[in-house]
Amino acid sequence: MLGFIIFIVIVAVLVIWVIGLYNTLVRARNAVKNAWSQIDVQLKRRHDLIPNLLETVKGYMKHERETLEAVTQARTAAINAGGVAETGKAEGMLSGALKSLFAVAESYPDLKANQNFLALQEELTSTENKIAFSRQAYNDATMQYNNKVQMVPTNIIAGMFNFKEEEFFEIEIPTEREVPKVSFSE
Amino acid sequence: MWELIRANRRKSVFLVVIMAALLFVVGYAAGELLIGQGGGVIGLFFAFAVWIIMTLVAYFQGRQIFMTVSGAQKIKKEDHPQLWNVVEEMVIASQLPKIPDIYIIDDPAPNAFAAGRNPANAAVAVTTGLLNRLKRDELQGVIAHEIGHVKNRDILFMTMIGVMLGAIVLITDIAVRSMFYGGHRRRSRTASSGGSQFELIILVAGIVLMILAPLLAHLIYLAASRKREYLADASSAQFTRFPEGLALALEKIAHTPIKMKKINRVTAPMYTVNPLQKASAKAAGLFSTHPPIGERVKILRSMAGGSTYMAYNEAFQQITGSRSSIVPQSALISPESRPAGTAPPGPVPGLRQMEGAALLAAAVPEPATQAGKVRQTTDALWKARNYRFIHCDCGAVLKVPPDFKRREFKCLRCKKVHSA
Amino acid sequence: MVVFEYRQIELDYCPGCFGVWFDEGEVELLLETAGPASGDAVLKLIVVTRDATETKRRCPVCDKPMDKASVPGGKVILDRCPHGNGIWFDAGEFAAAFAESAGETAGQDGTIRVITDFLGEALDKRHEET
């Protein structure tokens, strides 16, 4: 009788332990998914901000039609892009187009004094940061999750319930790494 | 990250149990000493009641009390978009579920703190002095440190353990005081008439305990606090992928001679940099809540292997010569600990590596002059207090308090009359 | 108090009594923006006078009684916070203090001139009394 009770207890503890491990895996996988959707949220936010920016800038930058059009086109391409690889590339193009727009804006003192423009610039560059940080968070979450899938003891559970490793977010445009260091010393 | 929080929680429970045991022993001893035989149970009960009440107040009202005591002003996004964005960026990097409430404290000394019982109820506060002095990168390092406190559940733990420290101090204080005023006399009379040596030993032991307990509790509290500061620094490096930002900010804070106005011993451990400690202090004494700034900067600067928790831990052990880990072992995954046949994770691409460091803060517009930066900060305070902004054509700006009775304002410069 | 900002420098202005509070931090900012970083706070250049008979005011920041002071060569009595929080000008003192000092100290003290120039421009002293 006593042996049976001990057996039941051991089984119960084991089951609870397995449930616990399973739940940590689910939590880690959800963190990955959540981080991925955060990237989309920030990309969408950037798409929404661009028309406002163009509207503000238009009056000042009369001779920069090409730069403005490049941004518009890149935005359209980014919105219509499908698939991870294509989206990544299109969004990279959009980042580049925005960067050159802000670079050109440097030579328009009136524009730089415009409160609306400054607010939009802060908003857009911060959104750019948020996109990058959400990718970073995605990679962090993916590493956490992948470690769990690979390491004892969670790897046993992962194998049983078909938890697969997720892929890291790779840089789409290698040239982005070589952005020259802009000094902004006071 | 989960490992970190869970290992933290395990350690926290352990420390809380020790503190609780200390509290109950103190309560029991105080009861025995003051009331006499059998009074220990009453003392125990009293200690328990004090603890429960203080904990409940701290849990539900702690943040509010904290913000009121330090004179913090809650802001909206429009009040200071840059600060708001920096916080939001760190929330994304740390994967917190929600943006904490953001407060500004009108104080020229640069500092920041986090409060709130859990990530869903968290708040971060920064002083105007901090906003005026730091560049965006540096501010981000400080905010990431505070978000680290939120993420690692430091605030709840430090509050709980702080409450127990407070309860222990309170009870021993009451016991020692009342022993001086009469309790002791009654006690010694029974001792002389009963004459039991055993009773005398108990008495002496009780008094020694009354003196030592608060000290011991204080030491536990401070050691826990220091360790969590290091951990929050490690989190800051991990979230920003840029340890130099926090290092620069810490240096600037350390070199500012201004002292904070509304600071007391209770709120001090919550700040990024201990506002009561002298910047020149070289060693972390047993009685400091924060590690010395110089050491924190040195650790951040010698993080050779990237910006991960592991890199911080290595730098920490190298600089302090300590063998203990700041970060729990389970969060430090090295390639060797992986099963054979699986690929090592390699450095996880972070923001700085992915986009090039220059892209970040360099592109974000910042006020060109110090005056512009100060205006950005004070304007945030005015807006948070619902001041009305009237822009005059002559270039001047009038900022009018919300409870101001007059409806018309004359510009001081060009005498143009504006109506509200 | 209404806050008045001009060229990114703030003054606190009382529309009831026409007094003006010039905060120490703002004075420093002004000197920084103006260029000649003399380092010396302007408050030290305004000399404390002991023979003033006006009643003492309290500092709006630290609530301590303020010293009576005057600009070198000037006849107007100002109120200066002993803890370096700022300067208080009664109604009209602005114009008076700087009308005279602008003439007398011109060329001799850069720091004061920066401030007089700014205050003159910011408040347009010709109309201040109205």
What whole-number distance in Å separates Cα of residue B350 and Cα of residue B8? 25
Report how far residue B380's alpha carbon sits from residue B78's, in angstroms, rounded to the nearest whole number: 8
In a domain, C29, yes or no: yes
Flag whether C123 is in a domain: no
Question: Is 60 exceeded by the pLDDT of residue C125?
Answer: no
In this prediction, residues A120-131 reach a mean pLDDT of 88
Q: Which residues of B164-198 are buried (b: 16+ CB within 10 A; e: fewer)?
A: bbbbbbbbbeebbeebeeebbeebeeeeeeeeeee
Q: Is B103 helix (H, G, I), strand (E, B) or coil?
A: strand
What are the residue ranges spanned by the domains of chain B? 2-66+155-223, 70-149+226-330, 387-420
Q: Which residue of A has its CA nearest to B331?
A: A144
What is the least distance, in Å, from the CA of C40 to any CA of chain B?
Answer: 17
Q: What percent of chain A has pLDDT over 90?
A: 13
Question: Is the pLDDT at C58 greater than 60, yes or no?
Answer: yes
Centre a 10 Å sphere on the Cβ of residue C65 and count the other Cβ atoms it contains: 12
Residues A139, B2: C-beta atoms closer than 8 Å? no
In a domain, C113, yes or no: no
Tokens 């990955």 sit on residue: A32
Q: What does each C-alpha distance from B250 to B110, B255, B295, B300 come to in angstroms?
A: 10, 9, 10, 10
Cβ contact C5–B401 (<8 Å): no
User: Of B146, B229, B244, B314, which one is the catalytic site residue?
Assistant: B146
Q: pLDDT tens digits, residue range B375-416?
A: 888 888 888 888 888 888 877 888 888 887 777 777 777 777
Sorted by sequence, the CB contacts under 8 Å of residue C93 that are 6+ apart come out as C76, C77, C78
- C-alpha distances in angstroms, B14 versus B21, B324, B347? 11, 17, 34
Cα angle: A39, vertex A41, A46; to 5 degrees:
95
> Residue written as tokens 């359209």?
A76
> Has residue B213 got a pLDDT over 60?
yes
In a domain, A170, yes or no: no
Q: Tell how strand B101-105 and strand B123-127 pair up.
A: parallel
Question: What mean pLDDT do residues B60-86 have?
Answer: 86
Tell me what ipTM this predicted complex has.
Answer: 0.82
Contact call for A and C: 3+ CB–CB distances under 8 Å? no
Q: Is residue A124 part of a domain?
A: yes
Is B415 close to C124, i.e. CB distance below 8 A?
Answer: yes
Cβ <8 Å between A150 and B338: yes
In chain C, alpha helices (H): 24-34, 42-45, 93-104, 110-123
Whether the pLDDT of residue A32 is over 70: the answer is yes
CA–CA separation, A143 and C108 (whole Å)? 67
Number of domains in chain A: 1
Q: Do C2 and B372 touch (CB under 8 A)?
A: no
For residue B22, give how far its alpha carbon lies from the nearest alpha carbon of chain A (Å).
32
| CA C121 vs CA A66, B396, C6, C16, C97: distances in Å | 43, 11, 9, 22, 14
pLDDT tens-digit map of B261-300: 555 445 555 566 665 554 433 434 445 667 778 888 888 8
Residues of C in contact with B382 (CB under 8 A): 3
- 3-state percent helix, strand, coil for chain A, nearest multiple of 5: 80, 0, 20
CATH number of the domain at A45, please.
Answer: 1.20.1440.20
Name the token pair of A42: 């920030």
For chain C, the residues whose C-beta falls within 8 A of a C-beta of chain B are 1-11, 13, 15, 25, 29-30, 32-33, 121-124, 127-128, 130
Range of the domain at A13: 2-165
Given C1, C2, C128, which is nearest B409 (Cβ)? C2
How many domains does one find in chain C?
1
* Residue C101 counted as domain residue: no
Q: Is residue A173 part of a domain?
A: no
| Residues from chain C contacting residue B369 (CB–CB below 8 Å) | 8, 32-33
Task: Tell me the residue range of the domain where C76 lies.
Answer: 13-49+56-84
Is domain B70-149+226-330 annotated with CATH 3.30.2010.10? yes
Cβ(C79)–Cβ(C57) below 8 Å:
yes
Residue B138 among the catalytic residues = no
* Structure-block tokens of residue C35: 């260029």
B47 vs B114: CA distance, rounded Å: 29
Within 8 A of B371 by CB-CB distance, chain A residues are none
Choice among B3-7, B291-295, B415-419 with the minimum mean pLDDT: B3-7
pLDDT score, position C123:
66
- Does some domain include residue A175? no
Shortest distance between the Cα of C122 and any Cα of chain B, in A, equals 6
Chains B and C touch (3+ CB pairs under 8 A): yes
Using a CB-CB distance cutoff of 8 angstroms, which residues of chain B are in contact with residue C121?
Answer: 413
Q: Is pLDDT of A89 > 60?
A: yes
Any idea which of A3-7, A9-13, B303-307, B371-375 has the lowest mean pLDDT?
Answer: B303-307
CB nearest to C33's CB, from B371, B399, B412: B371
Tell me which chain A residues have a C-beta less than 8 angstroms from the C-beta of B372: none
Q: Do B348 and A143 touch (CB under 8 A)?
A: yes
pLDDT, averaged across chain A:
82
| Residue A151 counted as domain residue | yes
